[in-house]
Chains A and B, each alone.
Chain A
Amino acid sequence: MAERISHDVTPPKIGPDAQEELDRLVQTLHEHGMLRFANDVVASNHELLRILVGGLNKQGTLNAIQNLSVIAMTLSTLPPERFYQVMFALKEGIEQVGDHRHDEEAHPSSKEQDKEKDSAPGITGVYRMLKDDELWYAIKPILAGLKAFSERLDRPVDKPVTDFTGKPTEGP
């Protein structure tokens, strides 16, 4: 005679427990000394993200991100060989500027002739410089750049993305 038994089953463990999760973390993080840090970050991720998002949501941060993006966007449009040319020209220009000295201590071996070069050109000197093809060739790109720069400044920009991609938008 086997009478009916009412019995409550022992509730099973469903899914990995904290110990098993920790074991997985131990394998990958503990050896690198990251376990405590990871636990702290994981445990407080909402708060951390809240702080992060709060920081991001400040106008200054947004400006910074967008400005950095503008730089990235600008760089993304320049062909590398062109940018290389400009950057190395800039580098050499900077070197030239850095090397430039006009006092005698800096140039103990300088002669009278060199001193003459450092002195002010005067009106005739300016006239002579304007006739100097080599010098004019050096200044011309700077003037062209200034012209383009000025024109771009005059062009109104509503949203950089539209200016950049050519596609108008009301915003995402």
Chain B
Amino acid sequence: MNRPCTIKFDDKELTGNADEPLIDFLESHGISLPSVCYHPSLGAIETCDTCWVEVNGEMKRGCTLRTEEGLNISSLDTQATAARHEGMDRLLAKHELYCTVCENNNGDCRVHNAVVEMDIPIQRYEFQPKPHPKDTSSPFYTYDPDQCILCGQCVEACQNVEVNETLSIDYASENPRVLWDGGKEINDSSCVHCGHCVTVCPCNALQENSMYGQTGPLTALPWSLKRPMIEVVKEIENTTSAKPITGISELDAAWRQPGIKRTKTVCTYCGVGCSFEMWTQDRKILKVQPTPDAPANGISTCIKGKFAWDFVNSEKRLTTPLIRENGQFREASWDEALDLVARRLMNVRDIHGPQSVGFIGSSKASNEEAYLTQKIARLIIGTNSVDNSSRYCQNPATKGLTRTVGYGGDAGTIKDIEQAEVVVLVGSNTAENHPVIASRIKSSQKLHGQKLVVFDPRKHEMAERANLFMRPNASTDLIWASALSRYMFDNDLADYEFLERWVNNIDEYRESLAPFTLDFAEQKTGIPKQQLIEAAELIGRAKSVCLLWAMGITQHSHGSDTSTALSNLLLVTGNYGKPGTGGYPMRGHNNVQGASDFGCLRNMYPGYEKVTDEDARKRWAKGWGVKPEQLSLEEGWGNFLMVQAAADDKLKAMYIIGEETAFSDANTHNVHSAFESLDFMVVQDIFLSRTAEFADVVLPACPSVEKDGTFVNTERRIQRFYQVLEPLGDSRPDWRILKDLAARMGHDWGYTHPSEIMAECASISPLFAGVSYERLEGWKSLLWPVAADGTDTPLLYTDGFPTDDGKASLFVLEWQEPLEAADDEYDFMLDNGRLLEHFQGSNQTGRSQGIWDQVPGSFVEVSPELAAERNIQDGTWVRITSRRDSHEFPALVTDRVAGKTLYLPIHFGKPGVNGLTGEHTDPVVHTPAYKETAVKLKVLDKRTEPPLPSTNYRFGKRTPNEGVAVEVKWANEDYTLPPAQQMNPRKM
């Protein structure tokens, strides 16, 4: 709760919130206290010495002050003014001012701005280069020691926000600089290229490579020309003072503004929902700049969100409709292509019935586009066979949550995960798949003592950091989860008060736990009993627990049941409905949550209303202005079943939007032959994907940065993204393609902007009643359910559960053997998943050379034990054979995997993991059991270079520290407190 307070600043009374950082407080009143090292997301690190003020006769760094009633501050005090100038003089001894030829002089350079605000006539100490070369080793950013002011914001961001723990500064050294892994080149260190350091750098010491030579009229000049220009200006400043030159650089910053466009957008990789500004100049993407205002990520990004946007301007983009003709594609006009699609789809429907047409909506496209996809399927074609890629990943989690607590979404927000006493990660390689959420967990653990428990067959970064790490045998997670639930009841750790008040079916559930003894769990999971007890005690005694799970749970033949078991455990321990608690299935695509929320599900209208519910059908029919009978009451087929129906000749036509089904569905052999057997297939995409190669018509769509819309992230947070660029060539936004197609099928809905589509959905679906583009403007966001008055729900279940009696239910389960397991012949389990650097089939990340530099190609991870047994070394080729097919890969020996578990990244199509996976699925939701792939391994007589370059971050050695060691700087005998002059300002 904010308390008001009034402070006095330079004899002026200012009223605002108490306990607010002074610099932020003043800024909200339009007053700028010059500062360089203060960043609202990093707090006061006190290294720059440019914000001194006088408080009650005492000199204080302004960044350390927080507002309180009666605070009386003077910035005009002679001593304070002199100290600020001395602080700035020391910075300028380390940072060469050449703003007009600098890429960072875009109005937000904090060094430049502070120089201007302080009206510095001339710097006291001469700039002298440092004895360190510029580090240009990273394909994504550059470090220039000569521009580095040693403020340490990059170190703080790396150590305590991202918590990759790569950067440090040794203030005690002779010539301090920022160090990667204590002194390696950037690209040879543990740096994950998340971009935090570049984002917070107040000047151009850390700069995105994409900015070089781009931003100002003089920045493209070669250094052979820039250098003499700089020398001329410096010489002249000896007479004129720096002020005229500062004035010119102010002009320069001003005239750059019309050319640089800054547009808020939302990342289109994983489900964290990072939003940021994208800086562009014409079609050039200059950089991605996160801001503290972003609700999900603040200043955080990962390598993909920060740097992997080259796909937008790829020459491989589809920009013209293509029509299959005589075994080839020919370019066609939009009119011809859309007419053909409309005619053929209606034709198939009329001849074979509505069930013969299937739609796959995109988990990368917007909510509005998902809504139109299902509207065309349901209203025009009359089928509920409309789905999205959540079928391949998170539908089991949704099922587990709807069985127990009601809503198929994260129970709370990232803030809840941050503040939980204990976080449990199950089958989630969070640091690589949801890096920004991983950062929040790592930070809470490092700074606030949060406990981290990890269950995973693979020792990934989060496992290495865990307080307790357990490696269950494959497909046994339901057992330990249920055993832990039983332990809670048996040891009085169950939250009976919560259970009594909020939960049904307790007794039956408790009885069903009888088989799940710790001994049984130890025997089946391979986790020592004592570790299970330790985990149970940690979870049972914690005041708040968040449990996160991902594909390691869901992509199994009983992923729904295991997801249910995890939610049961949370209910037993009372971990729903309170801050810092809940179940969090980590959504893997930027809008896989939204595609489901907005109706691309075979059994649900938008807002999770069942298609079999007559009342729901009536409401949707009324909203759409049709008779209820026009909408089918039968559930449709999901992705997986659609492909099977195509193979069985039951499905005749498919319309696939932005999904690489031919790559990502299990057992690609069968998928390809199913596609070949379709009468008619339409693919709408930004690239000629492998799926599109099977199409009869290919429609060129736009990526998110070329259109407006909204996404829903893993938190259920709806965020707007704005059009950054014009559509490339003749490509079109998906919503417009779908609208034009519907019109050609006799339904001219007349939308002129996606906001009208959202308004229509909000007017029908109670879950989104209060959602509007106005309420989502800029950085604003809404977490569903959203009431008609705009009240949203960051934390679910605070007032009960969305069931008839307002109670959750414990769901009775039995453990079942996986549908595919290792045996004597296929004696290895092939785990598979993502890598940090790439995304899915690499259609997006694969357009960035820098990404390929980090991970040049496929490989299979083998354990050191196996490597020793079979004489496998890095680069030794092995043949992996499943019950479907056989592929060859170079091996990478790593202790991330153990024993007879292998790990294969999913990003590489030639050969791809889904040549090996099978068609066995979860019987409840038909999600393929990708993780249940038994294989055999043969070592080949072939050896190449190690598949991962030695410079890959995985080989780096992190250098954890507490952040910026400003005390070391102050304790150094060389350091003098301003305003006294500094002997060696380049060091201090």
Contacts and interface: CB of A to CB of B under 8 A. Distances in A.
A and B assemble together:
yes
A97 interface: no
A66 B240 CA distance: 7
A77 to B, nearest CB: 12
B225 A5 contact: no
A169 B237 CA distance: 11
Contacts of B124: 167-170
B316 A9 contact: yes
Contacts of B242: 172
B313 A70 contact: no
B121 A167 contact: yes
B101 to A, nearest CB: 11
Given A2-B681, A4-B676, A14-B728, A172 B320 contact: no
A1 B284 CA distance: 42
Interface string A9-53: 111111110000000000000000000000000000010011001
Contacts of A13: 729
A5 B328 contact: yes
A34 B293 CA distance: 45
Interface in A40-72: 46, 49-50, 53-54, 56-57, 62, 65-66, 69-70
A65 B729 CA distance: 51
Interface in A113-172: 159-162, 164-165, 167-172
A25 to B, nearest CB: 15
Nearest to B318: A9
Nearest to A66: B239
B240 A4 contact: no
Nearest to B244: A69
Interface residues of A, number: 40
A15 B238 contact: no
A2 B228 contact: no
B723 interface: no
B318 to A, nearest CB: 6
A30 B319 CA distance: 33
Interface stretch (B435-443, B510-518, B688-696): B688-696
A159 B284 contact: no
Contacts of A49: 221, 225, 229
Contacts of A7: 322, 328-329, 688, 693
B315 A11 contact: yes
A5 B676 CA distance: 11
B848 to A, nearest CB: 15
Among A2, A10, A69, A167, find the residue whose CB has the most chain B CB atoms closer than 10 A. Answer: A2
A139 B423 CA distance: 91
B234 interface: yes
B688 A170 contact: no
B676 A165 contact: no
A5 B238 contact: no
A10 B318 CA distance: 8
Nearest to B284: A15
A15 B726 CA distance: 10
A57 B234 CA distance: 11
B236 A65 contact: yes
A164 B127 CA distance: 21
A172 B322 contact: no
Contact of A16 (B234, B237, B282): B282
Contacts of B688: 7, 9
Contact of B241 (A9, A65, A165): A165
Contacts of B239: 66, 69-70, 73, 159-161
B258 interface: no
B675 interface: yes
Contact of A2 (B284, B322, B694): B694
A160 B239 CA distance: 5
B124 to A, nearest CB: 6
A3 B693 CA distance: 8
Contact of A1 (B222, B315, B677): B677
Interface string B648-679: 00000000000000000000000010011110
A73 B221 contact: no
A85 interface: no
Given A57-B232, A66-B240, A169-B126, A12 B729 contact: yes
B88 to A, nearest CB: 12
Interface string B197-223: 000000000000000000000000110
Interface in B121-145: 121-127
Nearest to A62: B235
B283 interface: yes
Contacts of A12: 315, 317, 319, 728-729, 731
A49 B731 CA distance: 41
A162 B239 CA distance: 8
Interface in A96-117: none
A117 B121 CA distance: 55
B625 interface: no
Contacts of A65: 236
Nearest to A52: B229
Contacts of B328: 5, 7
Contacts of A69: 236, 239-240, 244
A146 to B, nearest CB: 25
A107 to B, nearest CB: 49
B676 A161 contact: no
B315 A14 contact: yes
B534 interface: no
Most central of B239, B319, B322, B675 by chain A CB within 10 Å:
B239
A54 to B, nearest CB: 8
B672 A4 contact: yes
Given A7-B329, A10-B320, A167-B121, A2 B282 contact: no
Interface in B235-277: 235-242, 244
B97 interface: yes
A46 B729 contact: no
Nearest to A13: B729
B728 A3 contact: no
A170 B981 CA distance: 13
A9 B221 contact: no
B236 A66 contact: yes
A94 B895 CA distance: 94
A5, A13, A46, A49, most chain B CB atoms within 10 A: A5
Given A5-B329, A7-B322, A46-B222, A171 B234 contact: yes
A9 B698 CA distance: 11
A15 B317 CA distance: 13
A172 B123 CA distance: 6
Nearest to A50: B225
Contacts of B313: 14-15
A161 B123 contact: no
Contacts of B327: 3, 5
A15 B214 CA distance: 14
Contact of B225 (A53, A159, A162): A53
A162 B122 contact: yes
B465 interface: no
Contacts of B695: 2
Contacts of A54: 228
B834 interface: no
Contacts of A162: 122
Interface in B291-346: 313, 315-320, 322, 324, 327-329, 331
Interface of A: 1-7, 9-16, 46, 49-50, 53-54, 56-57, 62, 65-66, 69-70, 73, 159-162, 164-165, 167-172
23 contacts: A1-B676, A3-B676, A7-B688, A7-B693, A9-B318, A9-B320, A9-B688, A10-B320, A12-B319, A12-B728, A13-B729, A14-B315, A16-B282, A53-B228, A56-B232, A57-B232, A62-B236, A69-B244, A70-B239, A73-B240, A171-B234, A172-B122, A172-B237
Closest 6 pairs between A and B when the two form their complex, measured CB to CB: A170-B126, A12-B729, A66-B239, A165-B121, A11-B315, A12-B319
Given A2-B695, A11-B316, A167-B121, 7 more contacts: A66-B238, A164-B241, A165-B122, A170-B125, A171-B238, A172-B234, A172-B242
